Structure 1
Amino acid sequence: MSHDADVVVAGGGPVGLMLACELALADVTVVVLERLTEVDTTIKAGAINSPSAEAFYRRGMLPDLVEVQSTAIEKFSAFLRQRQAAGASGVKPPPKFAGHFAGIMLRGDLLDESDPDFGDTGPAGDVGLIPQEALERLLAARAARLGVELRRGVTLTGFDAGEDGVAVHTSDGTLHTGWLVGCDGGRSTVRRLAGFPFPGTDPEITGHQAIVELTGAEALGAGWNWTDTGTYVHGPMPGRILTVEFDGPPADRQAPITAEDLQASLRRVSGVPDVTVTKVLSATRFTDNARQVPDYRRGRVLLAGDAAHVHSPFGGQGVNLGIGDAMNLGWKLAATVKGWAPEGLLDTYTAERHPIGAWVLEWTRAQVALMRPESHARALRTVISELAGTADATTFFAKKISGVWQRYDLPGSHPLTGASAPDLELSDGTRLGGRLQGGGGLLLDLADDRGLRERAAGYGGRVRVHTAACPERPGLRALLVRPDGCTAWAADDGDTPAGLDAALRRWFGAPDGAAA
């Protein structure tokens, strides 16, 4: 079968675009199909976590993210000024924000920032407040620069997958490709047509999130609020509201969301009878439906992001989980397309990402349980709130929310193996993160060891070798870093290079001229 593209990605949101960019870095031809004709402006996620920030930093996107974050911070400041001008009492900037669990705020001044898990992110650690719409625009622009073909206003209607490729049927004709990846959201057409099982738990709540114009808002509490009828949020930007009601899922999740719908929900949950929604600027409806496919691959069809797992938005894990999927899958699928992938490489995608997805589902289920407007949940919330007021608990929750705990179970005993590579500051004035922009593997030789460099000499464009010292880590001898930033192998001074050859073969195949 002749192919119109090496890979077709269904879905042009942040996950699909990030995956397309990763593939394009490896000279894989990609077509992205997106049913919407413009970037989705619906209010969604408002922040990214550490693994996502590191991923964007390692691809040279940090300056753009800093600019976006500055705009987000100004909107937060505008919300405080608006509240003060309206005469709301007790309005003051909160302590340094460290995240929240079920709306229980974590105080940054209690965070133990000396914890080593927080110490290796480099400049990426300063970026977090990135709205999803802005992120999608940045990724769309980057995809265009990399030569990705983004077809907007095109809907996937079906596909036929065979041993040598996939015929993808769309509203604009049929495309022939080697691989199809569904990044088409929680109601994924690719997942449904491919027959992926989707086990999980049914929804209990109806949630709304919106940007609106309001009158009577000064009577609303700022931030998260719990009442006898549910939970509501006001802020942290002008006009942003969120309501959660625990009377079951919506009768029609696809129905248009009107000002009357939002106003009625906000009045029911807040108990403020005069708050009035005069205009809806952006709105979305959500539930706590929590499901995950057991395997992210069926032959030449794969899933990533919400197509592979859905859950409530509490804790802001959704887009971050999807970006992690894209980073993990991108280079592995590219290696498979290019023909140098070692046996079983693509299967490690599910093996590595499924446990993290399963954790996110449990994390969000726990938050829904804690938010229920009933006496047992209130009692438990009181206990958790008291715990969250301690340094140990704040640090625990912040590590979970930020994602710095995430690592893969890889062979090797070094503490860095399987973890995100530390953003080492090198003696030549560069940082490790800046050396990953090309998307390939990296052997970082910190001891000027010719023997180590010779072991990687047969890997050509698959693994680049860089030699420099690292004064801040004098005992660290070398790192082998995968294209997704994961440490595949590491050694300290005095260690033998045992394991490096196996790690190179495991992740990058056979060296040039050697038998596979």
Structure 2
Amino acid sequence: MPDHDVAVVGGGPVGLLLACLLAQSGVDVAVFEQRTSDDDRSRAIGIHPPGRAALDAAGVGAEAGRLALALDGGDVLCGGRVLASVSFTPRQQVLILPQRRTHALLSERLADLRPDAVHLGHAVSDVRDEGEVVRLTVESEGVAREVTASIVVAADGVRSGVRRRLGVEWRETRGSGTYAMADVADDEPGRRVSLYCEPAGIVESFPLPEGRRRWVVADPLERLRDEAAFSQEIEERTGIRPDLALPPTPFRARQHRAARAGVGRVVLLGDALHETSPIGGQGMNLGWNAARHLAAAIEKSSGGTEPDFRAYGRRALRSAARAQRRSWFYMSMGEPAHGVGLGTRNAVIRALGSPPLRRSAADLITMRGL
């Protein structure tokens, strides 16, 4: 008999949500995370309707809704003029909650369901599918041991070691760019997003809970590395100068998809399966949505049945392809533009914000149809 029904490699928010769904159904699940403590970084912030549905299924949706800031909508501006505005209906509602908070909610939920499920400081260095079981080599404090499971889920991120060991091809898709990001204090953050599509590139301004605001700036020259340069660039593009307490965080957005979702009893999930640009805020929600379908596939294979992840893989990769096309479009709208290019871009944005297309644009933004 294997040690566990399911071993999840990676204890981020996607791996934890899957573990919660499985534990609720009585599945013996173990999560192996190489970090020695919970991830307190504030990265993803948007919870779209598919993500909210996944959090509801895992039993933490109500608490996330209580802690989050619910957006009313957003405005796209250029040169001080509003090009387009959208407002969200209840079915399109987007919540804003820093990833560290959703991570904490999922950690607490899993601890209630299965107190011994999460193993921090445990790195998986090898995975071997032996037909009826999968054997993992797990290292902790310099000591290696073997753990067996009926199914292994690799939720170990963009640089997935499990994906590399499986030999699954990692294919780049359209959409890349460099940005800088900072969260600052804001006494009146409001409930609307402002997107400044300026000639020098986009500036995104998101309200956060607890009197905070996130600024994201397109940084094609990769020069916004200190508080002064970051604030000055925002002021030059928007007329607003935020007050930073810490240097901004630079990041590069890229997009990739795995050639397949898994091999045998080992299956990929979340960023290990697809890297989606954070511009548009779809990545974490995409992983959560896929986790619901993967949990159902795993439950069907209980009792020793050979797992069949083909339908899950087709659906997850198809959804990822759609999301990446949307992210590529969002990124292209935020690139530097001048002259005819700027006029064309602004005309496209105005068209999307026009009454005939406004509802469809809001659906696009809030991940409907994925």
TM bracket (short chain): 0.7 to 0.9
Q: Which has the higher contact order (CA 8 A, sep 6+)?
A: 2
Which residue, 352, 361, 366 being the options, matches 1:397? 361
Would the alpha carbon gap of residues 100 and 208 (structure 1) be closer, same or farther in structure 2, given more than 3 Å must change?
Answer: same
Residue 62, structure 1, aligned to residue 78, structure 2? no
Q: May I ask how many residue pairs the two structures share in their alignment? A: 351
Q: Which residue is 1:23 aligned to?
A: 22
CA contact (8 A) 1:304 1:325 kept: yes
Give, in angstroms, the shift of residue 23 of structure 1: 1.6
Would the alpha carbon gap of residues 336 and 101 (structure 1) be closer, same or farther in structure 2, given more than 3 Å must change?
Answer: farther
- The two structures have a TM-score, normalised by structure 1, of 0.61
Residue 198, structure 1, aligned to residue 163, structure 2? no
**Deviation readout 1:436-462 (Å, 9 max, x if unpaired):** xxxxxxxxxxxxxxxxxxxxxxxxxxx
Would the alpha carbon gap of residues 10 and 265 (structure 1) be closer, same or farther in structure 2, given more than 3 Å must change?
Answer: same
SS in 2 for 1:287: strand
The amino acid across from 1:67 in the alignment is R
**Deviation readout 1:201-241 (Å, 9 max, x if unpaired):** 37642112222479xxxxxxx93324443322344243532
Would the alpha carbon gap of residues 274 and 65 (structure 1) be closer, same or farther in structure 2, given more than 3 Å must change?
Answer: closer
The amino acid across from 1:240 in the alignment is R
RMSD: 3.3
Give, in angstroms, the shift of residue 199 of structure 1: 0.9
Q: Which residue is 1:97 aligned to?
A: 73
- Taking the aligned partners of 2:180 and 2:227, their CA distance within structure 1 comes to 7
- Taking the aligned partners of 2:9 and 2:249, their CA distance within structure 1 comes to 22
CA contact (8 A) 1:203 1:288 kept: yes
The amino acid across from 2:359 in the alignment is T
Q: Which residue is 1:36 aligned to?
A: 35
Gaps of 5+ in 1: 77-95, 215-221, 251-258, 407-516
Give, in angstroms, the shift of residue 158 of structure 1: 2.3
CA contact (8 A) 1:213 1:280 kept: no
Which residue, 119, 143, 158 being the options, matches 2:126? 158
Which residue, 211, 217, 237 being the options, matches 2:183? 211
- Taking the aligned partners of 1:128 and 1:325, their CA distance within structure 2 comes to 19
- Taking the aligned partners of 1:175 and 1:163, their CA distance within structure 2 comes to 15
SS in 2 for 1:360: helix
Q: Which residue is 2:215 aligned to?
A: 241
Q: Which residue is 2:190 aligned to?
A: none
Residue 359, structure 1, aligned to residue 331, structure 2? no
Q: Which residue is 2:290 aligned to?
A: 325
CA contact (8 A) 2:175 2:277 kept: no
Would the alpha carbon gap of residues 391 and 202 (structure 1) be closer, same or farther in structure 2, given more than 3 Å must change?
Answer: closer
Correspondence list, 1:32-431, <5 A? 32-69=31-68, 72=69, 96-97=72-73, 106-108=85-87, 128-147=95-114, 149-172=117-140, 173=144, 174-201=146-173, 204-212=176-184, 223-237=194-208, 238=212, 240-247=214-221, 260-261=225-226, 263-268=228-233, 270-271=235-236, 279-280=245-246, 284-339=249-304, 345-375=308-338, 377-406=341-370
The structure with the larger Rg is 1
Would the alpha carbon gap of residues 164 and 261 (structure 1) be closer, same or farther in structure 2, given more than 3 Å must change?
Answer: farther
- Taking the aligned partners of 2:76 and 2:136, their CA distance within structure 1 comes to 42
- Taking the aligned partners of 1:141 and 1:226, their CA distance within structure 2 comes to 40
Give, in angstroms, the shift of residue 150 of structure 1: 0.5
SS in 2 for 1:187: coil
SS in 2 for 1:231: strand
Over the matched positions of the two proteins, sequence identity in percent amounts to: 24
- Taking the aligned partners of 2:94 and 2:215, their CA distance within structure 1 comes to 24
CA contact (8 A) 1:101 1:315 kept: no
**Deviation readout 1:48-84 (Å, 9 max, x if unpaired):** 1112222333444333123212xx36xx9xxxxxxxx
CA contact (8 A) 1:208 1:262 kept: no
SS in 1 for 2:38: coil
SS in 1 for 2:309: coil
Give, in angstroms, the shift of residue 194 of structure 1: 1.7
SS in 2 for 1:332: helix
CA contact (8 A) 2:181 2:249 kept: yes
Give, in angstroms, the shift of residue 39 of structure 1: 2.6
Would the alpha carbon gap of residues 286 and 100 (structure 1) be closer, same or farther in structure 2, given more than 3 Å must change?
Answer: farther
Would the alpha carbon gap of residues 298 and 167 (structure 1) be closer, same or farther in structure 2, given more than 3 Å must change?
Answer: same
- The two structures have a TM-score, normalised by structure 2, of 0.83
